[in-house]
Copies of this chain bind each other. A is one copy, B any other.
């Protein structure tokens, strides 16, 4: 494919992405072309790269999220652009975000398992909101009494938070092994008994790793 052809593909892809107003996958974009003109995947990847470059120094950028590519306003201009919309962006409660985090990092997970970790009941409202926003969906039922639904996140969830895949979520903090904790406690208790007072000096080497 020559230069002129590549630019032609690029303009059509650009036009389509702007017309769609939602993310489009490489294959969806390729399907817009008639069979004879359809660019190979490799060509498309090159085109997407060029398109990305063409947005340098502009008010928008090309971003790849879970369901494909989309043009979006650069984050630095959001303060001005947000004035276009009267409604303030929605804030989400901690309970909702914690539930969402558990589903995102621990999927597939049941409501009961979420409640075990959070230590409180999960309100039906929260689950409903997450389902209605299409951030989570039911992917099956656990084979235990009551057959509770198992939840997982969707591509829409990733799209909304500007992620291409779950790997891009901020990493979870490490957790100490239970046996290890047990041994630490043994030691501490030992120390407490010996000195008959809780020892503050130990704090440093007990820091999480």
A residues lining the B interface (CB < 8 Å):
7, 10-16, 18-21, 31-33, 54, 57-60, 66-67, 71, 73-74, 77, 80-81, 83-84, 105-108, 137, 139, 152-156, 165-166, 198-199, 202-203, 205-208
Verify B81–A16 contact, CB threshold 8 A.
yes
Query: Which listed residue (B83, B156, B208) contacts A107, Cβ 8 A?
Result: B208
Distance (whole angstroms) from the CB of A117 to the closest CB of chain B: 15
Distance (whole angstroms) from the CB of A81 to the closest CB of chain B: 5
What chain B residues lie within 8 Å of A12 (beta carbons)? 59, 77, 80-81
Q: Which 10 A-B pairs have the closest CB atoms?
A: A15-B59, A14-B59, A11-B59, A15-B77, A15-B73, A19-B81, A32-B80, A154-B199, A12-B80, A155-B199
